Structure 1
Amino acid sequence: MSIITHTNKNDFLKLHLDYVHNTESPIIMHTWGAISAAAACLGRHAYLELGIGRIYPNIFCLLVGPPGVRKNAAINYPVNLVKKYTNVKFAPDDTGGQRQGLIVALEDSEKDNIAAQLQNPDITEINLFADTNELDLLGNTQLEIFKDNVDTHTLFICATEFGSFLGQGSLEMTRFLNKMWDGEDYRYKIRKEHHTLKDALLNLLGGTTSADLASLLPAEAIGQGFMSRIILVHAAQRGKRIPPSKSFVKPELEEALGDVYKYLFYDHRTAMTLSKSAIKLEDEIYNADIKIPDTRFIFYAERRHSHLEKVAMVLAATNQRAEITHEDIHLANEILKETELSMPDALGEYGLSPIALARQKMIEFIQHANGPVNSDILWAVMRRDMRLMDFKNAISDLVNGHKLIKIDTDDGVAFVYNEDLSQVLDLLTTKEG
């Protein structure tokens, strides 16, 4: 069953996919872009109280694919609507891998001061320094937000270039992000003074390639839990090819989508609950112990239940319900299962040897090529990354593992990525014709 079949079961996702129908990004990326944007609108003011503690609907989502797969578009379409219709606070998208920039943005002391003034009945005049695009005190809804300031320390990270945000091998940043996914207080020190960042929460929607991901993340990121908190959404190629003159979103649907984001941000302020049938299905899924056949996802499997609950919360909230139903849990599980099929491809060779990293670079080069790649050209590209013997062994392994298809051409042996054999045969037939 395709992802489009699943998303048709939720009015919000169906509306979003209709909105972006005439664009090139893969449907799986459009789906997670919309889910992530909706989660950011909910912040901390929607939550699920469980025996293990409070679960928030925040999501860390990374769209992974080669250049040209249209990751940025899948991020920007929903994010632009969130910026237009809500006052969600956005994090800086380039921190150089330093958590200090995020801490400053999360602290946001000016708005804390405004919130305190709004709650003080003795104050009749308020001196505002905030940007009018971010704070409009003429609207009653905004006034309510700052009286109920649970989202004072909530930010939405939108990083179309994830490397600029995360930095190179920053273990401290990944540890900080772990805390922010959990919604825990964070203690830090400035000039010998200890501070505590309370009630902080981050949502993350980013884009990168498998090769960049391998070079950005420290090896410890798997063991310390960072990768278990991220939904990796992979696509090897764009969803469809549409000439720029014919690629557009449907403006007549924008207001309806904007209304959903406004509702989530301004009105859906409630504790959420699970129906009896939802609890039963959730227990069945938990006991089924769904695994991804890749040792790098051992810790993700242990945290999958939390991802399931977060996505189900978003699905229920977009339908303006505080109760999570059997249908929400089922749909969340189906979307996760569809996404998990290609998660190992998203990681590429991350966590493996330098030769494995070079193999990933080779795979991405062939993926992005517009047709078969001649063996001599491929070696010319890879000769700085591996020895000739390693190159030949890598080619042999990838062909035997059915990741590459070896073909004979007039120019000698060439290789194509085995994404869809029928497309490969069509391409060759066209060239011969």
Structure 2
Amino acid sequence: MPRKLDDFLRAYIEYTQNSESPVSYHTWCGIGLVSSALERRCFMEWGHTTIYPNQYIVLIGPSGRARKGEPIDIARSFLDHVGCNLIPESITREALIRRMREAMSHYQYGEKLVAQCPIVIVAEEFAVFLGENNIRLLTDMTNWYDSRKKWTYDTKHEGTDNIHGVCANVIASMAPDWIPLTLPQGVIGGGFTSRILFVVEHKKGKTIADPTAFPRDEVLERALQHDLEVIKRLKGQFYFTDEAKAAYIDWYTKEEERIERGNPALQDPRFAGYVSRRATHVKKIGMVLSSSRGGDLKLTIGDFRRARQMLERVEVNMEEVFGRVGRATYSEQTYLILEFIEQRKEVTKSELMRHFYRDVDSKMMDIIESTIHTMRLVERDTRKIEGEIVYIWKG
């Protein structure tokens, strides 16, 4: 069945342009749409490893200000249209496993009939889905990410059971306030968080006072639905073109050298696990971008460059995700104060105390002041006339 669009993702970004949500949110939800439609039928053989295009995508932004909900809702409607197995955000682990098992389907690949159990976790409130310090679920999801042929789990009556062809995608959002509650210190930087692409924004992308002035493009919507149905029929093995593979090898070699020199793409040590998986993320995104533009299952130089650039753009803010999480006594308060000063550029100590008096007393403020001064992010200026201490953001 021929496609109606030159590139699904580009058209999807156009379709969602009359929205207050940041473009990055819609872009990564579009990536999640394609990866969810591909399920487990497409893959790339890489040495002894088989890589699938599934994604764990989590939008991060302050409640109400970043407009995270609309991109999730739009993505959900497209997934529902093409018949993906959607998992609600409020569900027990037992019910989730049962839904995965019930999602089993088969597809013909060569002479083999291949089993898969694809699910898509769509959660506007990812914190509700994860629960508080739910280590067992986090461990399950870490295992599911690699789309194993067989996943074995303990049943309620102390036996074991298997699910064949695991395939999980995540399109979710979360406010940064919830991260310390849902992701305990022990898992941050480890297996689960290294598999997530955190899309961090601080505010909405634009202001649209009257969204009814921009009616939904129903013609483009139908074309997107049609092409997502076509994508859902793809199956087979992805290959790098020779040019793309040479470019990938060159990039990978240079990134490994950066790590050896102690200068990884993300400096926060809590992202060390993620940094080690960047190459896998690039290949996964590359497969999605290839599928977005056509069905030749070739990862071209254009696909590779675009995947790398998209990953690098989303990494710009990614290190902020765990800003409120740390072992230092006042790590969260320090992060909040730094964030406030950065936004205001210049602020007096009295203003800070008025704003944070519920969380910070004068003694704690003195400790935090010493910390941020040592970090050389903020300059302290004493103004004799006003008798005020002023903090100036230096970055």
TM-score, L = length of structure 2? 0.83
Residue in structure 1 matching 2:100, options 73, 92, 106: 106
- In the aligned structure 1, how far is the partner of 2:30 from the partner of 2:298? 21
Residue type matched to 2:365 in 1? F
**In the alignment, structure 1 residue 358 sits paired with structure 2 residue 333:** yes
Aligned to 1:127: none
Residue type matched to 1:333 in 2? R
What displacement does 1:92 show? 2.4
Instruction: Indicate if the aligned counterparts of 1:21 and 1:249 stay in contact, CA closer than 8 A.
Output: no
Aligned to 1:187: 152
**In the alignment, structure 1 residue 31 sits paired with structure 2 residue 27:** yes
What displacement does 1:83 show? 1.3
**In the alignment, structure 1 residue 346 sits paired with structure 2 residue 321:** yes
**In the alignment, structure 1 residue 175 sits paired with structure 2 residue 175:** no
What displacement does 1:45 show? 0.8
**In the alignment, structure 1 residue 204 sits paired with structure 2 residue 204:** no
Aligned ranges 1:254-333 → 2 under 5 Å? 254-265=221-232, 267-289=233-255, 291-320=265-294, 321-333=296-308
SS across alignment from 1:226:
helix
Task: Note the residue ranges of structure 1 that are not aligned, 5 or more in a row.
Answer: 1-9, 120-142, 420-433
Residue type matched to 2:203 in 1? Q
What displacement does 1:403 show? 7.5
Mark the CA change 1:76 to 1:226 in structure 2 (over 3 Å): closer, same or farther: same
Instruction: Indicate if the aligned counterparts of 2:189 and 2:270 stay in contact, CA closer than 8 A.
Output: no
RMSD over equivalenced CA pairs, Å = 3.3
Residue type matched to 2:77 in 1? N
**In the alignment, structure 1 residue 159 sits paired with structure 2 residue 107:** no
Instruction: Indicate if the aligned counterparts of 1:211 and 1:360 stay in contact, CA closer than 8 A.
Output: no
Aligned to 1:70: 67
Higher-strand-fraction structure: 2
Identify the range of structure 1 (294-303 vs 241-250) with the bigger mean alpha-carbon deviation: 241-250
What displacement does 1:94 show? 1.4
Residue in structure 1 matching 2:78, options 81, 85, 88: 81
Instruction: Indicate if the aligned counterparts of 1:23 and 1:249 stay in contact, CA closer than 8 A.
Output: no
What displacement does 1:244 show? 3.8
Instruction: Indicate if the aligned counterparts of 1:43 and 1:201 stay in contact, CA closer than 8 A.
Output: yes
Mark the CA change 1:243 to 1:403 in structure 2 (over 3 Å): closer, same or farther: farther
Mark the CA change 1:413 to 1:268 in structure 2 (over 3 Å): closer, same or farther: farther
- In the aligned structure 1, how far is the partner of 2:122 from the partner of 2:301? 31
Aligned ranges 1:233-252 → 2 under 5 Å? 233-245=199-211, 246=213, 249-252=216-219
SS across alignment from 1:61:
strand
Mark the CA change 1:196 to 1:203 in structure 2 (over 3 Å): closer, same or farther: same
Aligned to 2:56: 60
Residue type matched to 2:96 in 1? L
Residue in structure 2 matching 1:382, options 356, 363, 385: 356
Task: Note the residue ranges of structure 2 that are not aligned, 5 or more in a row.
Answer: 1-5, 256-263
What displacement does 1:104 show? 1.3
- In the aligned structure 2, how far is the partner of 1:58 from the partner of 1:249? 29
Residue type matched to 1:160 in 2? E
- In the aligned structure 2, how far is the partner of 1:278 from the partner of 1:268? 21
SS across alignment from 2:87:
coil
- In the aligned structure 2, how far is the partner of 1:282 from the partner of 1:19? 31
Instruction: Indicate if the aligned counterparts of 1:26 and 1:238 stay in contact, CA closer than 8 A.
Output: yes
What displacement does 1:211 show? 2.3
Instruction: Indicate if the aligned counterparts of 1:92 and 1:102 stay in contact, CA closer than 8 A.
Output: no
Mark the CA change 1:297 to 1:372 in structure 2 (over 3 Å): closer, same or farther: same
- In the aligned structure 2, how far is the partner of 1:297 from the partner of 1:393? 27
- Percent identity over the alignment is 23
Instruction: Indicate if the aligned counterparts of 2:377 and 2:394 stay in contact, CA closer than 8 A.
Output: yes
What displacement does 1:58 show? 0.2
Residue in structure 2 matching 1:230, options 193, 196, 206: 196
Instruction: Indicate if the aligned counterparts of 2:379 and 2:394 stay in contact, CA closer than 8 A.
Output: yes
Mark the CA change 1:416 to 1:256 in structure 2 (over 3 Å): closer, same or farther: farther
Mark the CA change 1:416 to 1:250 in structure 2 (over 3 Å): closer, same or farther: farther
What displacement does 1:367 show? 8.6
What displacement does 1:41 show? 0.6
Higher-helix-fraction structure: 1
- In the aligned structure 1, how far is the partner of 2:210 from the partner of 2:376? 36
Residue type matched to 2:196 in 1? I
Mark the CA change 1:56 to 1:66 in structure 2 (over 3 Å): closer, same or farther: same
Instruction: Indicate if the aligned counterparts of 1:211 and 1:357 stay in contact, CA closer than 8 A.
Output: no
What displacement does 1:192 show? 2.4
**In the alignment, structure 1 residue 20 sits paired with structure 2 residue 16:** yes
- In the aligned structure 2, how far is the partner of 1:340 from the partner of 1:353? 24
Mark the CA change 1:327 to 1:298 in structure 2 (over 3 Å): closer, same or farther: same
- In the aligned structure 2, how far is the partner of 1:239 from the partner of 1:65? 12
What displacement does 1:17 show? 1.6
Mark the CA change 1:211 to 1:365 in structure 2 (over 3 Å): closer, same or farther: farther
Residue type matched to 1:299 in 2? G
What displacement does 1:202 show? 0.6
What displacement does 1:381 show? 5.4
TM-score, L = length of structure 1? 0.76
What displacement does 1:368 show? 9.3
